[in-house]
Chains A and B, each alone.
Chain A
Amino acid sequence: MSRVEIMTGNQAAALGARLARVQVVAAYPITPQTSLTETLAQLIESGEMQAEYIRVDGEHSALTVCIAASTIGARAFTATSANGLLYMHEQIHWAAGSRLPIVMCCVNRGVGAPWTIFNDQQDSISQRDTGWIQLYCRDNQEIIDTVIQAFRIAETIYCPVMVCYDGFVLSHTLMPVEIPEEEKVDAFLPPYRPHTILDDTNPRTINPVMFADLRANAEGILCDGYMEIRYKLEYALKGALKTIQDVSDEYALVFGRDHGGLIWEYKTSDAEVILTGMGSIATEATIAADILREKGIPAGVVGIRAYRPFPTEALIRALKRARSIHCLEKAVSYGFAGPVYTDLRAALYGSECDAQMQDYITSLGGRDIQPSTIAEVVLNRIKSDAFDGRFREPIWINCRTE
């Protein structure tokens, strides 16, 4: 029997890693990820979890340890936040380029300077173009389930997965979480098999310097150039759309919980006004949608769970009846707009969805936002006559902008 316990998002992630039978953990503390690292240390030192725990000298090393361990064939896990994630940047690319199925939790936090320890999603967003799959969770139940799913996805297509969830909002908030049964997880997640065996029976040099063009090996077989190898990463990421959905569907069958795979929807069947976003801000948007409905606006929410790969087709399907789309974002691509808005606008351009779109920047560095505020700004925006389909500057909610 599975059991329900009250726990934080960080505890849920740690338990997910234990259930996934992670073999090597390397992590470095940073708020708000810290209690996740500590929980893992506790689980491993008490013998509840069988894994090597490397207490590294920094996040660059943390991910390097995972890269090396994963190459050898051990299931590897790490977690970080904000500047820790930025400090890993070189290795984040390296992990994806090496096609290693590492899972990392990013406990979302704003990045310095200036320092903030509080939540937004600028950290994971700034690692968007590295070749990692990025999944955003809404609650602690989804965190534990997503960590398990993430290993299954990663090991199916040999790409690393970042499981993102909002710092403090989820990482430090207690919620009831149903803990999946061990035997079921074991059946769902078979042991990891590395794509390359690193030993001297067939000595290889992994990740050597490449040429741009294809080159023949010693047997005269023409091997990929740098560009082909990069194309394969892109191809794998695109294919991951199906894998993420399939894994989520199978998980729902086995464990009875469906977090929606690529996207999730709330009251969209008759909705004309759609709010969208990732993580807990999208959850908050569901309350805002209800408030709008009380005011007679047929509102709904399309939450984005998979941000990379970007679920273009699923979003077009979910949004095709929308009259207006409102993106709530905890990150900015400075000099343009929020990342979700940018991608969504590009994805919808020329599709059957011709909704008006507005971008909102909100909650940076933990700035509070209430569902009633979201409802209010959206309402104001819908009423505005400047809603003509052209690009408009993002609206910074709850921010002194004069």
Chain B
Amino acid sequence: MPETLFKINAKEYILPGNRSCQGCGLSLAYRMALKALREKTIMVLGPSCLCVLHGLYPSTAVLIPGFNTTFASAGAAASGLVAGLRALGRDNETVCAFIGDGGTSDMGIQSLSGAAERQTDFIYVCYDNEGYMNTGTQRSSATPLGAITTTTPIYTKEEHKKDLVRIMEAHEIPYIATANAAYPIDLYDKFVKAKKIKGTRYIHLFIPCPPGWGFPPKDTIKIGRLAVETGVFPLFEIENGKFHFTGRSRALAERGHKIPVSTYLERQARFQKMTPAQVNVFQQWVDRRWEDFLRRAEADAKHFLS
């Protein structure tokens, strides 16, 4: 059953006055995620914006225990927490790793892959602000084509974003979902669901980042929504290998059309150097993926009905 706004856990787990930027998509998403995960959760953190949001010693803004680990090691750290909890017979706690796209798709991919291959019982969240934001907006492998970063300052990023969801799918884990800071109820539902499942669950969060992407802090939700409306970041779940769209993406899929990516790109300073040809390539990339998802949704729905 999808939750409604009124059913959302009223308790706040992030205290007022954390260290994220104004308009930060991460703080919105993290707030909702913690509401869904609730107590009895141990959070694995890496060097990232979230590490800073959690607070600098000796204060923390978060009411969930946080375990900082090094950049490359979140999957292994979660494995160690799970193993330790099992050894001690503490069996009603959820281990969750909440790691940036850099800590996931670049440095941390080995330990994440190891943990998923071992079917470690934890939730791994990649919060994707499409760059190394904590160190000042450098390119990561999750940075999209055409984006200016401080390490792609002149030519912009010349490759497409790494498709981490497909990599995670190859591990045959029971639950994969995408969610977006701009769709809090959809996001909340997915964390509630993930919490109930055993094994490795992977959630890929889309996190609009005003300073890193170059848009006004008031537009975080707008940018997040445009990513979905344009098909740049579709919302879906893959449960035991079965794909289906959720929320706004489901409506778009049923209605059959999405809006051009240029409406999304032109609102962000990071894309200001894109040539029309690059925009075209970006559009084709989005279209190809969207068509794939549509076909897959249809096939899996048929399979489900038969």
Contact = CB atoms under 8 A, between A and B. Distances in A.
A249 interface: no
A200 B57 CA distance: 18
Nearest to B42: A198
B241 interface: no
B84 A68 contact: yes
B65 A203 contact: yes
B64 A208 contact: no
A55 interface: yes
A70 B84 contact: yes
A209 B44 CA distance: 14
A69 B87 contact: yes
B94 to A, nearest CB: 11
A65 B75 CA distance: 9
Contacts of B81: 68-69, 71-72
Interface stretch (A31-39, A210-218, A324-332): A210-218
A57 B110 contact: yes
Interface in B267-287: none
A265 interface: no
A358 interface: no
Nearest to B64: A203
Contacts of B65: 198-200, 203-206
Contact of A23 (B45, B78, B87): B87
A90 interface: yes
Given A73-B88, A200-B63, A209-B57, A55 B45 contact: no
Interface stretch (B47-55, B142-150, B194-202, B290-298): B47-55
Contacts of B87: 23-24, 51-52, 69, 74
B69 A67 contact: yes
Nearest to B68: A207
B62 interface: yes
Interface residue tally on A, bucketed by range:
35 or more
B106 to A, nearest CB: 14
Contacts of B67: 68, 71, 198, 205-207
Contacts of A209: 51-52, 56-57
Contacts of B55: 205, 208
A312 interface: no
B114 A52 contact: no
A56 B76 contact: yes
A223 interface: yes
Contact of A52 (B77, B83, B111): B83
B83 A61 contact: no
Contacts of B79: 26, 54, 56, 61, 64-65, 68
B4 interface: no
Contact of A65 (B52, B54, B80): B80
A200 B88 CA distance: 16
Contacts of B174: none
A43 B90 CA distance: 24
A23 B86 CA distance: 9
A200 to B, nearest CB: 5
B89 to A, nearest CB: 10
B54 A64 contact: no
B80 A66 contact: yes
Interface of A: 23-24, 26, 51-52, 54-58, 60-62, 64-74, 76, 90-91, 94, 198-200, 203-211, 215-218, 223
Interface of B: 39-42, 44-45, 51-52, 54-60, 62-70, 72-73, 75-81, 83-88, 90, 93, 110-111, 113-114, 117-118
30 contacts: A24-B87, A52-B83, A57-B114, A60-B111, A61-B75, A61-B114, A68-B76, A68-B78, A68-B80, A71-B67, A71-B80, A71-B84, A74-B88, A76-B84, A90-B72, A91-B73, A200-B63, A203-B63, A204-B60, A205-B45, A205-B66, A205-B68, A208-B55, A208-B57, A208-B60, A208-B66, A209-B51, A209-B52, A209-B57, A223-B57
Query: 4 closest pairs, A vs B, by CB?
Result: A68-B80, A57-B114, A72-B84, A61-B76
Given A67-B77, A69-B81, A215-B57, 15 more contacts: A24-B83, A58-B114, A64-B79, A65-B76, A67-B69, A68-B69, A72-B90, A73-B88, A91-B70, A205-B65, A205-B68, A207-B67, A208-B55, A208-B68, A215-B58
